[in-house]
Amino acid sequence: MHKDELLELHEQMVMIMNYFESLEQVNGGLFEPYEELGVTPDDVHMSKSEHKHAVFVLGNALATAMSEDEFSDAGRVGKRMQELAEDAERKL
């Protein structure tokens, strides 16, 4: 995936995050790990690896927000996103 495509994906995922943050039933601290990274789609000067890591961290949070439990489809996606985020973080 090219960096511009990754930035577009990152931007779309942030829009989904904003939607989930507006819902009352979603845990308010769910997106804190992503927000603590300090990497947004607007930070085009940051490396592709940093955006990739942010996308995986955000993907994990989004999957968690959608999952009923860790064994649901979204729960399994969340678990995989967590693994990918950890791998991406090691490569930073």
pTM attached to this predicted model: 0.79
pLDDT value of residue 68: 61
pLDDT value of residue 25: 77
Query: Between the CA of residue 39 and those of 33, 34, 44, 47, 66, what are the distances in Å?
Result: 11, 8, 9, 10, 23
Question: Residue 37 corresponds to which tokens in the numbers above?
Answer: 């990274």
Q: Which long-range contacts (CB under 8 A, 24 or more apart) does 21-28 make?
A: 26/65, 27/65
* 25 Cβ neighbours under 8 A, 6+ residues apart: none
pLDDT value of residue 43: 95
pLDDT digits (tens, 9 = 90+) for 38-52: 999 999 999 999 999
Report residues of the chain scoring pLDDT below 50: none
Burial class (CB in 10 A: 0-12, 13-18, 19+), 64: buried
